[in-house]
Chain A
């Protein structure tokens, strides 16, 4: 069981309260987690990674185990604590203000 924490706008879109939990078979990477997430919540397709390229959208970040996984590619292994469900993968929106 993988835990994923989404930004508030995406929780509202997917009608989710709190963390999401998804099952991932095999290696736990951003790609496999997002594949499982989008299969469970199709309305999230295109909101975290781009259609076509499959790349992370520019204003989002992936944090896990207090490390930034945003620039390590979609196929990097996430920490064991995330794979074991002890910690969530955080999908975080870039801050903006005025």
Chain B
């Protein structure tokens, strides 16, 4: 492995941060698409030069950008996201039916096998797929037309499909998460979907263990154990060992189990990372101390990782797509904050260093491990 490339989406553009395998010195390129919100930037696992970026603006709507040279140059791809057939309605904040309306792409997920195939998770919640490098997008309509969909309701941030996990073994299996509908799984490549929320308990809905309505913030998976999925829910850290058929809470000794991000160590499938946030009413770290919590036991037993992170007067947030791990022998862990810092650890979370401190609010951080 020769180095790493971080792809950072922010409120005012995208940035590309590169370093060699030591991950000590970083080069910062950008902003690309200056002034635009870049919700997510991610590279193809099979062609690391192929990157996709979701670029949006309240003025000018949604754009998709594609790079074929690792982020040096970009070209607009297709930006037409039309719901398949009749859009239908979901539940609005006041309980009335509200038409499905496309607002933006929250998440792009390139295929594990084909650089021209990429999935997009959008608001209002739906999943789209392109098989021509992002030029054209078609909805996988079976999710939005699920029997429960008319009752889905947006969270405060909108009704977004923000997480897409591709099963590394079974190409027909995918997981998605929607705020605030919950987690869903397909076993037939996206034709049909089932809610996988059994075991979740959410106090913001009338029936705490309802089939849908849960505000799932993020899912994470390790390639060696695809049936084990970790979840940061609005409150509660959860895990499943049967592909979502049953979830178990593993918040354990976390000081607060509210948060957005969760990720799994590259080489240790039972080592996971979260960043606890004080509460849903106070989106900043507990006691003004920015702490990554690591569990080496797949949850329940957590330890605070603080070395190099601010331990006083820190009141930033870490958003759901803003943590990632690299594949280097000594696993690197990265996360970005709404204060514009991107922190990196080259030793599995033991110690941290600010790679860059003053970017616009960070929405997403992805990493590519380069050969």
Contacts and interface: CB of A to CB of B under 8 A. Distances in A.
A94 B58 CA distance: 10
Most interface-central of A10, A43, A48, A50 (chain B CB within 10 A): A43
Contact of A45 (B59, B79, B81): B79
A57 B79 contact: no
Interface string A1-30: 000000101100100000000000000000
B80 A51 contact: yes
Interface string A36-53: 000000010111101110
Contacts, number: 40
Most interface-central of B60, B79, B80, B82 (chain A CB within 10 A): B60
Nearest to B76: A43
A79 interface: no
B332 to A, nearest CB: 33
B79 A9 contact: no
Given A9-B36, A43-B76, A93 B59 contact: yes
Contacts of B58: 59, 96
Contact of A57 (B36, B59, B63, B82): B59
Interface size class on chain B is 10 to 19
Given A9-B36, A51-B80, A52-B82, A94 B59 contact: yes
B317 interface: no
A58 to B, nearest CB: 8
A60 B58 CA distance: 10
Interface residues of A, number: 18
Interface in B51-72: 57-63
A60 B80 contact: no
A47 B82 contact: no
Contacts of A50: 61
Nearest to A60: B59
B35 interface: yes
Contacts of B57: 9
B59 A9 contact: yes
A57 B76 contact: no
A7 B61 CA distance: 14
A9 B60 contact: yes
B345 to A, nearest CB: 34
A51 B61 CA distance: 10
B340 to A, nearest CB: 16
B79 A46 contact: yes
Given A9-B35, A9-B36, A59-B58, A47 B80 contact: no
A8 to B, nearest CB: 8
Given A51-B82, A52-B82, A7 B59 contact: yes
A48 B82 CA distance: 17
A12 to B, nearest CB: 8
B82 A13 contact: no
Interface string B57-101: 111111100000000000010011110000000000000000000
Contact of B63 (A47, A48, A60, A93): A47
A4 to B, nearest CB: 15
B124 to A, nearest CB: 14
Contacts of B62: 46
Contacts of A47: 60-61, 63
B59 A46 contact: no
Contacts of A94: 59
6 contacts: A13-B60, A45-B80, A46-B79, A47-B60, A60-B59, A93-B60
